[in-house]
């Protein structure tokens, strides 16, 4: 995986900064609360919801256990239908393939339908370097792109923005928008539609992702709410789809289960408004050239991990984000990756490697382990279990290296090893508490103890220890 969002600070640092942003918390609370309510209502309608979840889990597990077989089947079927399959080991390889294909089509711009895989590999940046302009067509993605921003939610990438912020972005960045534009959602959508229509009608090449790929027919599937995706998938001459290798389902019967789980879990709808499927190319109808890039980028590494591999079952519904108390307060940017929230906390460190950068080892700790994410996950990913597993890996990676915590433990061991030393230490702590404390509380502890006091006050130690009290009786 690329060092996505290079330069982002570790989660605790980024989260602390986000916690100071009241507008962000208000926007998030409102948006996630609304989606949570809708999801709960439509899930309650299904008496067989639990059975569906089990079916979803089993389909994905079966697929992952036989991934090589299903991938080869998919490749065969796509090729037989007139498509071309490319294999990309990592981000650099995938970006290179896309750039070569766009150049071969003699195009200097592409339209894109929402694809997390292309954000993961930072395709837009690679295209820009190659002199190719990329235009996001999903409304939320467009807002993020025009705002020179980063996505902060899987389903609603601009969830951190409210209506008036979006109006300001459109006024500033969208060509042809007049100052009369208000922050009415219908007006904002109309402005975006006019802007995008011009792009749809001129772009020769489209880049998409896929929600699913059906192995036994070679069919790609995109589900969306706006219809912009369908324009991307049908109007341009060349269609390039960048798809993670874990997106497979073996058959259309399996797809049927997923298409019941996904909309209810993500948008809280019984069915999503647009489901587009395509198989290779059809002469005279739709794109006449279709390329499928199957992306590994760390996925086979995750697949080899007995506990961590369940993250590859994810169907990117975002239900776990909408119930997570940590995500609701920090927002998605703090996770330093295109995959935020509970799923990001287990997927990102696996795709990048737990010790690959400063951010990854902190992500498994970005959770209270309350289990709300597990309760809503439509494919039963035991996120708390994976978090604990990855925490152990992050700690193991540091074993043997000097750290403030290790030094503190050594000192504690030495102090507790002698009653005389303990007595002296208690006396010093009591005096220190009186010097540093105000009204029974110590706000900020010095030196390596800063980490503890950064998020909580510490009670000042009592003047009399248990030991002295006992002796005085
Ligand atoms: S982990 Fe589960 S709940 Fe979270 S996005 Fe993936 S499928 Fe949805």
The structure tokens listed for 301 are 């590494």
Pairing state between β 238-244 and 289-295: parallel
Identify the residue whose C-alpha is closest to ligand 1 atom 7. Answer: 314
Regarding the beta carbon of 378 and ligand 1, being less than 6 Å apart is answered yes
Regarding the beta carbon of 316 and ligand 1, being less than 6 Å apart is answered yes
In a domain, 147, yes or no: no
Do residues 276 and 259 both lie within one domain? yes
Which pLDDT tens digit goes with each residue over 284-306?
Answer: 999 999 999 999 999 999 999 99
Regarding the beta carbon of 372 and ligand 1, being less than 6 Å apart is answered no
The Å distance, Cα 206 to ligand 1 centre, comes to 27
pLDDT of residue 3: 45
Do residues 389 and 412 both lie within one domain? no
280 in Cβ contact with 80 (< 8 Å): yes
Do residues 327 and 392 both lie within one domain? yes
In a domain, 157, yes or no: no
Closest CA to 209 of 142, 322, 145, 292: 292
| SS3 track for 219-266 | EEEEEECCCHHHHHHHCCCEEEEEEEHHHEECCHHHHHHHHHHHHHHH
Do residues 33 and 54 both lie within one domain? no
Domain harbouring 250, CATH code: 3.40.50.10420
The Å distance, Cα 281 to ligand 1 centre, comes to 32
Residue 20, pLDDT > 50, answer yes
Residue 466, pLDDT > 80, answer yes
Q: Which of 379, 384, 386 is the pocket-test mutation for ligand 1 (most atoms within 8 Å of CB)?
A: 379
Mean of pLDDT values over 340-366: 95
Regarding the beta carbon of 35 and ligand 1, being less than 6 Å apart is answered no
| DSSP state for residue 297 in the 8-state scheme | T
pLDDT of residue 6: 55
Residue 465, pLDDT > 90, answer no
Do residues 418 and 443 both lie within one domain? yes
Residue 4, pLDDT > 50, answer no
Please count the structural domains in the chain. 3
149 in Cβ contact with 155 (< 8 Å): no
Domain boundary among 376, 401, 426: 401
In a domain, 167, yes or no: no
CA quadruple 315, 318, 323, 327: dihedral sign: positive
pLDDT, mean over the chain: 92
Which pLDDT tens digit goes with each residue over 75-116?
Answer: 999 999 999 999 999 999 999 999 999 999 999 999 999 789
Domain boundary among 348, 379, 401: 401
Do residues 71 and 94 both lie within one domain? yes
Do residues 257 and 362 both lie within one domain? no
The Å distance, Cα 272 to ligand 1 centre, comes to 17
Which pLDDT tens digit goes with each residue over 180-207?
Answer: 899 998 999 899 988 898 889 999 999 9
Identify the residue whose C-alpha is closest to ligand 1 atom 8. Answer: 317
Do residues 237 and 112 both lie within one domain? yes
User: 171: alpha, beta or left, given left = phi > 0 and alpha = psi -120 to 50?
Assistant: alpha
| DSSP state for residue 90 in the 8-state scheme | S
- Of ligand 1's listed atoms, the one at least distance from the Cα of 266 is 8
128 in Cβ contact with 324 (< 8 Å): no
Mean of pLDDT values over 247-255: 98
Name, of 184-193, 344-353, 399-408, the range with top average pLDDT: 344-353
Residue 82 CB partners (closer than 8 Å, separation 6+): 280, 281, 290
Q: Which of 335, 341, 346, 377 is the pocket-test mutation for ligand 1 (most atoms within 8 Å of CB)?
A: 377
Domain boundary among 344, 370, 401: 401
Lowest mean pLDDT among 96-110, 169-183, 254-268: 169-183
pLDDT of residue 2: 46
Do residues 10 and 24 both lie within one domain? yes
Which pLDDT tens digit goes with each residue over 233-248?
Answer: 999 999 999 999 999 9
Q: How far apart are CA 87 and CA 75, in angstroms?
A: 10
The structure tokens listed for 121 are 């590999």
Tell me which residue range forms the domain holding 392.
1-45+318-401
- pLDDT confidence bin for 60, thresholds 50/70/90: very high
Burial 20-29, CB ≥16 within 10 A → b, else e: eeeebbebbe
Q: Where are the beta strands (DSSP E) in 71-159?
A: 84-88, 109-112, 133-136
pLDDT of residue 400: 78
The model's pTM is 0.87
210 in Cβ contact with 243 (< 8 Å): yes
Mean of pLDDT values over 331-348: 94
Do residues 395 and 451 both lie within one domain? no
């Amino acid at each position: 995986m690329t060092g996505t969002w290079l330069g982002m600070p570790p989660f605790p640092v980024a989260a602390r900064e986000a916690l100071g942003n009241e507008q962000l918390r208000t926007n998030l609370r409102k948006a996630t609360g609304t989606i949570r309510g809708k999801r709960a209502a439509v899930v309650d309608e299904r008496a067989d919801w639990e059975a569906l979840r089990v079916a979803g889990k089993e389909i994905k597990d079966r697929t992952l256990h036989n991934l090589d077989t299903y991938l080869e089947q998919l490749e065969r079927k796509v090729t037989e239908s007139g498509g071309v399959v490319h294999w990309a080991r990592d981000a650099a390889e995938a970006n290179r393939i896309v750039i070569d294909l766009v150049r071969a089509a003699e195009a200097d711009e592409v339209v894109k339908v929402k694809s997390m895989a292309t954000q993961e590999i930072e395709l837009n940046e690679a295209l820009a370097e190659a002199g190719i302009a990329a235009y996001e067509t999903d409304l939320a993605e467009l807002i993020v792109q025009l705002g020179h921003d980063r996505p902060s939610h899987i389903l609603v990438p601009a969830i951190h923005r409210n209506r008036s912020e979006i109006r300001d972005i459109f006024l500033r960045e969208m060509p042809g928008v007049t100052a009369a534009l208000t922050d009415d959602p219908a007006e904002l959508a109309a402005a975006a539609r006019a802007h995008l229509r011009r792009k749809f009608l001129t772009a020769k090449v489209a880049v998409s992702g896929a929600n699913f790929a059906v192995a036994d027919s070679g069919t790609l599937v995109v589900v969306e709410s706006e219809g912009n995706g369908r324009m991307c998938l049908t109007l341009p001459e060349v269609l390039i789809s960048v798809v993670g290798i874990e997106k497979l389902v073996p058959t259309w019967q399996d797809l049927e289960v997923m298409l019941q789980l996904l909309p209810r879990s993500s948008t809280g709808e019984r069915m999503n408004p647009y489901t587009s499927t395509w198989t290779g190319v059809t002469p005279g109808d739709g794109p006449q050239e279709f390329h499928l890039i199957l992306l590994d980028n760390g996925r086979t590494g995750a697949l080899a991990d007995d506990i961590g591999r369940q993250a590859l079952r994810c169907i990117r519904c975002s239900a776990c984000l909408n119930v997570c108390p940590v995500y609701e307060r920090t927002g998605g940017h703090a996770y330093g990756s295109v995959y935020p929230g509970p799923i990001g906390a287990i997927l990102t460190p696996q795709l990048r490697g737990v010790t690959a950068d400063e951010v990854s080892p902190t992500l498994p700790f970005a959770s209270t382990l309350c289990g709300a994410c597990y309760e809503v996950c439509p494919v039963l990913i035991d996120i708390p279990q994976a978090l604990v597993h990855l925490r152990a890996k992050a700690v193991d990676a540091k074993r043997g290296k000097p750290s403030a915590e290790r030094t503190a433990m050594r000192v504690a061991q030495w102090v507790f090893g002698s009653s005389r030393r303990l007595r002296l230490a208690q006396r010093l702590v009591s005096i220190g508490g009186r010097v540093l404390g105000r009204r029974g509380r110590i706000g900020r502890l010095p030196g390596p103890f800063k980490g503890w006091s950064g998020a909580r006050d510490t009670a000042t130690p009592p003047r009399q220890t248990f030991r002295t009290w006992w002796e005085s009786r």
